[in-house]
Amino acid sequence: MGRKFDYSLHYAELNLREHPELYRVGVGEQGVLLVQPYKSEILPHWRFATPEAAQASSDTIYAMFLAYLKAEDFVGADMARKFLQMGYTRSRRYANHKGGKKYDGPVPDDQKGRSGAHGRAELPRSPEDPQKAQAAAIFKAKWDEARDNPEYQRQKEQHLARYS
């Protein structure tokens, strides 16, 4: 899959549209809230509080995904894919854990922005929230569509071959 996402870069100062060679696909949602200018372009459209918000959000982000692909901007397309994935995972977290808190205790400073429990215990699950579960299903469908898009797969392979 290429090298792991590089958390050592100063993303607030970098424009990865201008420097796609610095982008690493990473695993899952790694870097989704770091990589500019995509974070600033996509984040304002990311909503999952209700199924209606999730539908509007996932439709908009998927349209952005397609536009990035059309522009041969793989980094943008991958970031849009990550936001769709994050829409699913966050909706599922809120469906399973009232208030969205999955783990006990704070995230250690050196692990902020990274996935996983980092040694913390998972809190008990609440009764499933059907609204959040429906929002998750909406995002999951768009995430799957993005991940399986043949043009996305082509550009991903090209990016990995060029920069890994």
Return d(Cα 102, Cα 105) in angstroms, integer. Answer: 10
pLDDT in tens, 16-50: 999 999 999 888 889 999 999 999 999 999 999 89
- The answer to whether the CB of 87 falls within 8 A of the CB of 133 is no
Name the residue among 25, 5, 38, 10 with its Cα closest to residue 161: 25
> Whole-prediction pTM value?
0.83
DSSP 5: P
pLDDT in tens, 94-150: 777 665 555 555 655 555 555 555 566 665 555 667 788 899 999 999 999 999 999
Neighbours of 24 (CB within 10 A): 22
Return d(Cα 98, Cα 149) in angstroms, integer. Answer: 34
Handedness of CA 15, 20, 22, 27 (dihedral sign): positive
Instruction: Tell me the residue length of the chain.
Output: 164
User: Which amino acid does the sequence have at 53?
Assistant: A
Tokens coding 71: 């522009």
